[in-house]
């Protein structure tokens, strides 16, 4: 990357959740760097002018290339709970002040992710279920 990012947010994983996070941050003019293992996604982001790195977000080297030491926050939004946990552990070891938000497909992993250093853990499946329940029971 041409310039060293600073006070930015790193997004790990550019799937459905990661894409939404990126779109919201860009709408609010927040500096970001995206990490994903899909070359096509990285190429498409770079073509749009979005800083993006091809690599595994559990790797210290990849997180350092995204400027983890100077980042204010990291959103870990990969589809694999084990990879999310390893990314949380690695991010926390590289920057003890960074705000870490992550996702967990398994509700039981939520506490483990917080113990590893995540400040916030979203469970998309539970969130979707709660929203559907609220909609289905309106006026009942």
pLDDT per position as a tens digit, 82-102: 999 999 999 999 999 999 999
What are the pLDDT tens digits along the chain (140 aa)?
Answer: 446 888 999 999 999 889 999 999 999 999 999 999 999 999 999 999 999 999 999 999 999 999 999 999 999 999 999 999 999 999 999 999 999 999 998 888 999 999 999 999 988 776 666 666 677 667 65
Tell whether 1 is covered by a domain. no
CATH code for position 92:
3.40.50.720
Tell whether 107 is covered by a domain. yes
Whether the model pTM is above 0.75: yes
Tell whether 3 is covered by a domain. no
Range of the structural domain that residue 26 is part of: 9-136
Q: Let me know: does 98 contact 117? Beta carbons within 8 Å.
A: no
Q: How far apart are the C-alpha atoms of 7 and 30, rounded to whole Å?
A: 9
Number of domains in the chain: 1
Tell whether 86 is covered by a domain. yes
Length of the chain: 140
């Amino acid at each position: 990357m041409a310039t060293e990012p600073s006070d930015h947010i790193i997004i790990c994983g550019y799937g459905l959740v990661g894409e939404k996070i990126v779109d919201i941050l860009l709408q609010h003019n927040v500096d970001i760097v995206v990490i994903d293992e899909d070359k096509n996604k990285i190429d498409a982001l770079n073509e749009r002018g979005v800083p993006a790195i091809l690599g595994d977000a559990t790797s210290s080297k990849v997180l350092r290339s995204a400027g983890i030491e100077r980042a204010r926050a990291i959103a870990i939004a990969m589809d694999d709970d084990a990879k999310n946990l390893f990314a949380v552990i690695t991010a926390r070891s590289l920057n003890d002040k960074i705000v870490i938000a992550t996702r967990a497909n398994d509700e039981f992993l939520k506490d483990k992710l917080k113990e590893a250093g995540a400040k916030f853990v979203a469970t998309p499946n539970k969130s979707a279920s709660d929203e559907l329940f609220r909609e289905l029971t309106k006026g009942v």
